[in-house]
A and B are shown apart, each in its own frame.
Chain A
Amino acid sequence: MIRGALSGCLLLAGLLVMPGAMAASRYYDIEPVEVAADTYVVFGAQENFNDANHGAIANTGFIVTDEGVVVIDTGPSRLYGQALREAIGRITEQPVVQVYISHAHPDHFLGNNAFDDVSIAALPGTIDAVRAVGSDLAGNLYNLVGAAMRGTSAVVPDQAVESGTTATFGDHRLRLLAAAGHTAADLMILDTTTGVLFAGDIAFHDRAPTTPNADIDAWRAVLAQTRAREFAVLVPGHGPSTPDDAPLSQTGDYLAWLVDRFTQDANDGMSAAEVMFQPLPERWARLAVQPGEYRRSVSHLYPAIEQSALPERTE
């Protein structure tokens, strides 16, 4: 008993001395998958935030070049960011030289703490959003996933990305594409060397899209434009990567269905709670995180659509 308690104390002391190495691997099982030459993705759980996945629900990625490693999204917490950096270190001796953040949602940028010695770039709208609501998002995630969030704060990206520009790292030429729709600022990155398109949360795959900050018309327009692009591999923000545009068409079809459904329900006089608890068609019921994500979307999108189905002021 005494020996057990003692070694427990030693373990605790070890954690206090090395919060990164030991604690991070305890929470996060980071297994990068090579999806193209020099290009790796760490796939997130197709789940909601919970205290078993510790917030690791989004995909993160990195590209290994002769001039250093480029990281795309940093995950949900400081410890995730540290675990990601350790995983990169097991694959290459190249240092991380650049981080890009796709958008200002907590599952994508709260690992920034582990990269605060590196330039972190994002669209101006993302920088503004992290500055405005980053701390609230971190606080909410603490409540949802608990201890794995310790030491996490909202690090504001320090470099603004200009849309349409190309950044070159070794052999890899990255086109930085500004979009909007999932949020007010969504960065997509097309590696023209490998043909890998990191679409961020513009694309969801086999997981219901989230809509808390969405502009559905803008989002659908971006999806249509992106389907017209040339790419070899598409990496969505959530779900498996594909050699085709399946995540783009699936996301577009779902959003179109959502708006049609809500418009029809509003014109039938349904209340929001009635809309929430309707059964979903098979195609959309089988996506991960349903029906929860659909119900969240009722809260986000139905009020405006419901109001537009009421006549202007009646006398």
Chain B
Amino acid sequence: MNTISKTLALMLLVLAMPAAAAASDDPLDSSQWRYMLRQYFPDAKVVFDDRVQVVAPDYAEDSLATPVQVRAEGLEDVERVLVLADHSPINPVLDYYPVRAAPAIGFHFKVQQATPIRAAMRTADGTWHVGGVWVDAEGGGCTAPSVGSASPLWESRLGEVEGRLWARGDRSQRLKFRVVHPMDTGLAAGIPAFFIRSVTVSDADGRTLARLEPDEPVAENPVFALDLKHAGAVTVEGRDNNGNVFSARIPAPAS
């Protein structure tokens, strides 16, 4: 091959790799994004997509519990939602599978330093659609001990669930639940990682409506808000990384 055809071949190769192109096109201009792409989306097609919205304050008033709401308007067939923080000692924040639910989740997370917080939504065709915002912070959220770890009270209440459903139009419900758990990251000296590993929401027939896998950065005593495509009572069941299990039945909303 002569030089010109080599160059042409290289150009074609570049055009055929949208993921690689995405690294330099990062709308959040994060130095970590190239690494994040390699680490979390190897060989996958990744596109930045304005329909994927991450709503979070531009400054973390509480670095131990910064609220975030992830949602997608007009993006169909979302099978998985991966929430990531570029500049965090632990990048994955939460993994969400909205089986019979909208690709939307609200919760709080710990912020160690200024970082992009991103949601990557994988659609049925295998493409990851990415949106996000920067959150600035004084920091220290991930390396601080939980409040619970300093109090004897949490142990007797570990795994308690408080939950409620709200009707949201035809056969849709907002589910919100809170679980008592210290969610220790393992990064505070002398306190091992201790966090909720998985939660499954199912209907009365045992069919899975939604599944989520929190990571260490999810805030202590987490509150999750989900939008289920389902009417009626649900069951919330979960497990932490030490094998403790919890479950609760959330009654249908009073109409």
A280 at the interface (CB under 8 A from B): no
B49 at the interface (CB under 8 A from A): no
Contact B177 A277 (CB under 8 A): no
Contact B55 A306 (CB under 8 A): no
Measured CB to CB, the nearest residue on chain B to A272 is: B67
A175 at the interface (CB under 8 A from B): no
Contact of B166 among A269, A276, A299 (CB under 8 A): A269
Contact A310 B178 (CB under 8 A): yes
Question: How far does the Cβ of A273 sit from chain B's closest Cβ, in whole Å?
Answer: 4
Task: For the A-B complex with A271-B176, A295-B61, A296-B61 known, give 11 more contacts whose Cβ atoms are closer than 8 Å.
Answer: A269-B174, A269-B176, A298-B67, A299-B61, A299-B65, A307-B223, A310-B178, A314-B163, A314-B248, A314-B250, A315-B248
**Bound: A268/B178 CA distance, A:** 16
Contact B225 A271 (CB under 8 A): yes
Q: How many pairs of residues, A versus B, come closer than 8 Å at their CB atoms? A: 82
For window 269-315 of A, CB contacts with B under 8 Å fall at 269-274, 276-277, 292, 295-296, 298-300, 302-303, 306-307, 309-315
Contacts of B161 in A (CB 8 A): 313-314
One digit per residue, 1 when the CB lies within 8 angstroms of any chain B CB and 0 when it does not, for chain A 51-74 equals: 000000000000000000000000
A264 at the interface (CB under 8 A from B): no
Contacts of A315 in B (CB 8 A): 248-249
B200 at the interface (CB under 8 A from A): no
B245 at the interface (CB under 8 A from A): no
Question: How far does the Cβ of B28 sit from chain A's closest Cβ, in whole Å?
Answer: 18
The 4 closest A-B pairs by CB, nearest first: A271-B106, A272-B67, A273-B69, A269-B166
Interface residues on B, range: 20 to 34
Q: A273 with B249: in contact, given A309-B164, A310-B164 (CB under 8 Å)?
A: no
Contacts of B65 in A (CB 8 A): 299, 303
B107 at the interface (CB under 8 A from A): yes
Contact A313 B160 (CB under 8 A): yes
Measured CB to CB, the nearest residue on chain B to A271 is: B106
**Bound: A273/B66 CA distance, A:** 9
Contact B138 A300 (CB under 8 A): no
Question: Per DSSP, are chain B's interface residues mostly helix, strand or loop, or mixed?
Answer: strand
A94 at the interface (CB under 8 A from B): no
Interface residues of A, Cβ cutoff 8 Å to B: 140, 143, 212, 268-274, 276-277, 292, 295-296, 298-300, 302-303, 306-307, 309-315
Contacts of B59 in A (CB 8 A): 292
Measured CB to CB, the nearest residue on chain A to B162 is: A310
For window 57-97 of B, CB contacts with A under 8 Å fall at 57, 59, 61-62, 65-69
Contacts of B223 in A (CB 8 A): 271-272, 303, 306-307
Contacts of B106 in A (CB 8 A): 271-274
B56 at the interface (CB under 8 A from A): yes
Contacts of A143 in B (CB 8 A): 138
Contacts of B162 in A (CB 8 A): 307, 310-314
Contact B69 A274 (CB under 8 A): yes
**Bound: A45/B67 CA distance, A:** 29
Q: In the complex, which of the residues A143, A273, A312 has the most CB atoms of chain B within 10 Å of its own CB atom? A: A273
Measured CB to CB, the nearest residue on chain B to A48 is: B59
B181 at the interface (CB under 8 A from A): no
Contacts of B160 in A (CB 8 A): 313
In the complex, 22 of the A-B residue pairs with CB atoms within 8 angstroms, ordered by the A residue number, are A212-B61, A271-B69, A271-B106, A271-B107, A272-B108, A273-B55, A277-B69, A295-B57, A295-B61, A296-B61, A299-B66, A300-B61, A302-B67, A303-B223, A307-B162, A307-B223, A312-B162, A313-B160, A313-B161, A314-B161, A314-B249, A315-B248
Contact of A268 among B61, B66, B108, B166 (CB under 8 A): B166
Contacts of B57 in A (CB 8 A): 273, 276, 295, 299
Contact A310 B176 (CB under 8 A): yes
Contacts of A270 in B (CB 8 A): 225
Contacts of A302 in B (CB 8 A): 67
Question: How far does the Cβ of B96 sit from chain A's closest Cβ, in whole Å?
Answer: 14
**Bound: A304/B65 CA distance, A:** 13
Contacts of A274 in B (CB 8 A): 55, 69, 106, 225
Q: In the complex, which of the residues B57, B65, B174, B250 has the most CB atoms of chain A within 10 Å of its own CB atom? A: B57
Contact of A269 among B66, B67, B164, B251 (CB under 8 A): B164
Question: How far does the Cβ of A115 sit from chain B's closest Cβ, in whole Å?
Answer: 28
Measured CB to CB, the nearest residue on chain A to B60 is: A299
Q: In the complex, which of the residues A292, A299, A300, A314 has the most CB atoms of chain B within 10 Å of its own CB atom? A: A314
